[in-house]
Amino acid sequence: MCGVLLEAGHHVVCVDNFSTGLERNLSDLRDFSTFSVIRHDIVDPIDLEIDEIYNLACPASPPHYQADPIRTMRTSVLGALNMLDLAHRRGAKIFQASTSEVYGDPHIHPQPESYLGNVNAIGPRACYDEGKRSAETLFFDYQRRHGLRIKVVRIFNTYGPHMRPDDGRVVSNFIVQALSGKDITIYGDGSQTRSFCYVDDLIRGFHLMMDSADEVTGPINLGNPGEFSVAELAAMVIDLTGSRSRIVQMSLPADDPRQRRPDITRAEMQLGWRPNTALRDGLVRTIAYFDKVLSTENALQVRRIA
């Protein structure tokens, strides 16, 4: 996203504590004189001269956000509060990256933005689910109370280059396991369904949302309405990598949604947005990225041993 903004001629300040992100992902951007990086955790206040804020802060994969659930909740709630205060002080427009997790394990399929959700407030995923729901509440309260210009999107499963090999989400897990010749682990019987949106399509949706008229506040679903079972995804990854990995089943985690697919009618009507990248095409690009990353890491490991 920083790259797209820079290419469009913006000055960009990236604020990150790198708790889950990789600083090396920014290496190609440091040649831009209009780009700067501040290592900071938005749980603590910060003051910047800015016109727009994209708040994407928060671990997004279950292994990462469950590793420190209290910190996850603090990032979602206190971090959002600090960013909203900054936007209010500077008269800035502010974007919130919310999540399909606000719908929980849905009783309505596909999920429209009007669906209020089925979330377990005391379950192991609640630190993320309820943290993001609370952040949405804060955004709309700031809009009503202070007239703040807000933009809220709900992101469905997204994948693509620059993910961490240990990200913990299903696409990266399957690709890394397949490329490493390890068993591909499916939780449950693999019949649960997900939608998978390629990162370039998602970022395009971000910018359309931020540039939309002030009355377009969201929340707006951004995701690919194509629906695939986890077992179908595993088979596709094995086929595209040429791996001999076996598929093994493990017990289903608590509160894992059985179905997840966005209703993107609002995005189509208000933003003119829909994803363009087919799952197979996006996987080919993502596999090529992980193949390069794993080859580099293996080469470094060999040098260390030598």
**Residue 109's pLDDT is what?**
94
> What digits encode the pLDDT tens for the residues 224-264?
999 999 999 999 999 999 999 999 998 877 777 888 999 99
Q: How confident is the model at residue 50 (pLDDT cuts 50, 70, 90)?
A: very high
Q: How confident is the model at residue 299 (pLDDT cuts 50, 70, 90)?
A: low
Strand partners, 262: 111
Question: pTM, whole model, 2 decimals?
Answer: 0.93
The catalytic position among 128, 142, 159, 198 is 128
Task: Tell me what the pLDDT averaged over the chain comes to.
Answer: 94
The alpha carbon dihedral of 35, 39, 41, 44 has a sign of negative
> What digits encode the pLDDT tens for the residues 139-193?
999 999 999 999 999 999 999 999 999 988 999 999 999 999 999 999 888 999 9
How many CA atoms does the CB half-sphere of 122 hold within 13 Å? 0
Buried b (16+ CB within 10 A) or exposed e, 261-292: bbbbebbeebbebebebebeebbeebbeebee
């190609």: which residue's tokens? 28
Mean pLDDT computed over 38-57: 97
């995005």: which residue's tokens? 267
Counting DSSP H helices and E strands in the chain, the numbers are: 10, 12
Q: How confident is the model at residue 62 (pLDDT cuts 50, 70, 90)?
A: confident
**Residue 22's pLDDT is what?**
86
Domains annotated for the chain, with CATH where assigned, are 41-305 (3.40.50.720)
159 is catalytic: no
